[in-house]
Amino acid sequence: MATKTANSQRDRKATVPGRLEDLVRILPPIAIRDDVQHENAVAMIDRLMQVADLTDGQAAYLETLLQLVEFYEARHHAIALSGLGGTRMLKHLLEQSGMTGGDLARLLDVHATLGSKILGGQRRLTWDHAKTLAARFKVAPALFMD
């Protein structure tokens, strides 16, 4: 009996339909009502985040799932954030992940110096940056906004 190699499993995970209609058949984008649906949506988000160049359908589907997950997490897994700024939270998550300002810049696909400027408070994150970070750390994008 043949076993799957790590490479074939990785390739399988990264393969996602390109058409919106096909993605909807796999996991319909409906209101998330429990932790199982939440886990399924997050797993699909992870798969889509591995795709280098998203099709228009994949991008629209990913945005929809991110919004559904964000809404569910805000209602069911909210964290008291009083006194915590977005930059402070970002620093904490980067530290916990062993990431540097350079890693942050690569993740956000920005100039290398921008990572340290964000962490130093000289530059603010954009909403697109917050969404990228939210997908990476599996939290709501609003967490990173000051």
For the chain, list the domains and their CATH numbers.
6-76 (no CATH), 86-144 (1.10.260.40)
Predicted pLDDT at 116: 87
Residue 99 — left, alpha, or beta (φ > 0 → left; ψ -120 to 50 → alpha)? beta
Letter string b/e over residues 115-138, b meaning 16 or more CB atoms within 10 A of that residue's CB: beebbeeebebeeebbbbbbbbbe
Predicted pLDDT at 146: 67
- Report the chain (146 residues): mean pLDDT per 10 consecutive residues: 39 73 96 94 91 92 92 76 72 89 91 87 87 89 79
